[in-house]
Amino acid sequence: MDLPVFRAALDDWLDEHDAELRGEHAAGGSLDDHMDQLSHVKRTAYDAGWMRWGWPEHVGGLGGSSLLRAYLGEALTSRDLVEPGIYSMTEVLVPTMIDYASPELAALMVPRMLRGDETWCQGFSEPDAGSNLASLACRAVRSDDGWRVTGQKVWTSLAQYAQRCVLLVRTGTTESAHRGITALFVDMDTPGITVRPIETMHGAPEFCEVFFDDVVVPFDRMLGDEGQGWAAAMDLLPFERSTALWHRAAYLHRRLELLLDAAPAGSLDPARVGEVTQLLYAFRLRSRATQYRMASGGQLGAETSIDKVLLATVEQAVFDLAEDALADQIVLGDDDAAERWRSEFLYSRAATIYGGSAEIQRNIIARRLLDLGSDR
């Protein structure tokens, strides 16, 4: 299906089904509400076909360009039907499943994620391995019944809701840091897994500590071969820094429009509004080019660090502007709108951390794109 035809038909469908899509949890502000709303919207959109376009047919998709699903994400977030951060897990994790899981596993699992029947999480970061991910220490050793995993992950978004985890483990020696990593697709109800949610400063237990105590993972749950975990992670991270950010920009656009409506007269400096608008358009143009590159079969790589830096910059600029214009409401307000602006302002601080910190993105740009020195 062509993008213009898809856009028009999807917009009509969304208009027609707006009330149905805004289920009982749409107005709620808690993470539980957002998760229930996300499943409801994904299920409704999947059953009507929309959630399947842009994904390959061998994993339950209907085929077509990835631009189709980029527009679906844009439409759902800008209509405030889903929370953009939790929606993006699909864009982050499903492409890697398609690229690295066995065809049978991908065909079985991907439709569950697309339909919102399951949530998956990403177990990469550890207490001593964040920016320096290759130093991760969560270990898996071979046994007769599969890999036995022992160790800890941290900042694992949505782990308390997840049925599965894309998990990086060390299976080789630390001397061969990158080659000694393997990616596993782990059932979160396997005995030996303990999940402890962490409350963030914006008040939602969005991420978790996850402990693995001799957890058995069958060998057919490897994503790629033993030792290919670093390649799988490098496949995944550019999606986290690019396609997943396209619909986030649409959501920021909508919030900026609402801010301009909500701000008291005289509370906004027109020059700053201009600067923020310019940052937003710069990001959207950049992200648009990335979507088209991916849709035409181009590989995403280090260039996506530019997308991530621009996104984090504009996200913080939008909510800095909100903090200035709506200061009383954000600091003192106790209605739902005030709570939402306050929560979004606080959460925007995370934009320079999640998906790789701003400093790390700048290191990648300097070293790998501008050739300003070696990695080490």
Ligand X SMILES: Cc1cc2nc3c(=O)[nH]c(=O)nc-3n(C[C@H](O)[C@H](O)[C@H](O)COP(=O)(O)OP(=O)(O)OC[C@H]3O[C@@H](n4cnc5c(N)ncnc54)[C@H](O)[C@@H]3O)c2cc1C
Instruction: Name the catalytic one among 83, 126, 240, 303.
Output: 240
Site membership for ligand X, residue 363 (CB under 6 A): yes
Compute the least distance from the CB of residue 231 to ligand X, in Å. Answer: 17
Residues 6+ apart with CB under 8 A from 178: 134, 230
- CA distances 125 to 104, 346, 365, Å, are 28, 22, 22
**In whole angstroms, how close is the CB of 129 to ligand X at the nearest point?**
7
What are the structure tokens assigned to 86, written together? 């939790």
Closer CB to ligand X, residue 329 or residue 352? 352
Please identify, using beta-carbon distances, which residue of 158 and 280 lies nearer to ligand X: 158
The least distance separating ligand X from the CB of residue 131, rounded to whole angstroms, comes to 3
Residue 152 contacts ligand X per CB under 6 A = no
Q: Which of 72, 113, 350, 364 touches ligand X (CB under 6 A)?
A: 350
Q: Is 3 in the site for ligand X (CB under 6 A)?
A: no
Are the beta carbons of 154 and 127 closer than 8 angstroms?
yes
Q: Do residues 105 and 221 make contact, with C-beta atoms less than 8 angstroms apart?
A: yes
| Beta carbon nearer to ligand X, 67 or 360 | 360
Residues contacting ligand X: total by CB under 6 A: 19
* DSSP annotation string for 5-45: HHHHHHHHHHHHTHHHHS-TTTT--SHHHHHHHHHHHHHHH
Residue nearest ligand X, Cβ-based = 130
CA distance 185 to 220: 9
CB of 181 to ligand X, least distance (A): 13
d(CA 273, CA 279): 10
CB of 300 to ligand X, least distance (A): 18
Binding to ligand X, residues 201-260 (CB under 6 A): 207
DSSP 369: I
In the complex, the smallest distance separating the C-beta of residue 92 from ligand X, rounded to whole angstroms, is 8
Residue 160 lies near ligand X (rule: CB under 6 A):
no
The C-alpha atoms of residue 233 and residue 35 are separated, in whole angstroms, by: 25
Stretch that binds ligand X, among 19-27, 36-44, 271-279, 353-361 (CB under 6 A): 353-361
**Distance (Å, whole) CA 357 – CA 308:** 9
Which region among 25-33, 42-50, 125-133, 295-303 touches ligand X (by CB under 6 A)? 125-133
What contacts 258, CB < 8 A, 6 or more positions away?
none
Among 77, 157, 304, 316, contact with ligand X (rule: CB under 6 A): 157
Which of 277/363 has CB closer to ligand X?
A: 363
Q: Is 240 a catalytic residue?
A: yes
Between CA 18 and CA 45 the distance in angstroms is 11
The C-alpha atoms of residue 118 and residue 366 are separated, in whole angstroms, by 39
Q: Residue 49: helix, strand or coil by DSSP?
A: coil
Q: Which of 359, 366, 369, 372 binds ligand X (CB under 6 A)?
A: 359
CB under 8 Å to 225, separation ≥6 — which residues? 182
Binding segment for ligand X (CB under 6 A), chosen from 119-127, 178-186, 251-259, 289-297, is 119-127
For residues 336 and 344, the answer to whether their CB atoms sit within 8 Å is no
Residue of 130, 203, 205, 218 that binds ligand X (CB under 6 A)? 130
Q: Give the whole-angstrom CA distance, residue 301 versus residue 294.
A: 11
Least distance from ligand X to the Cβ atom of residue 340, Å: 17
Token pair 């060998």 is found at 219
Please tell me whether residue 197 binds ligand X under the rule CB under 6 A: no
Q: Is 88 in the site for ligand X (CB under 6 A)?
A: no
84 touching ligand X, by CB under 6 A? no
- Please identify which residue in 55, 120, 155, 251 interacts with ligand X, judged by CB under 6 A: 155
Q: Tell me which amino acid residue 14 is.
A: L
Catalytic residue list: 240
Which positions touch ligand X (CB under 6 A)? 121-125, 130-131, 155-157, 207, 350, 353-354, 356-357, 359-360, 363
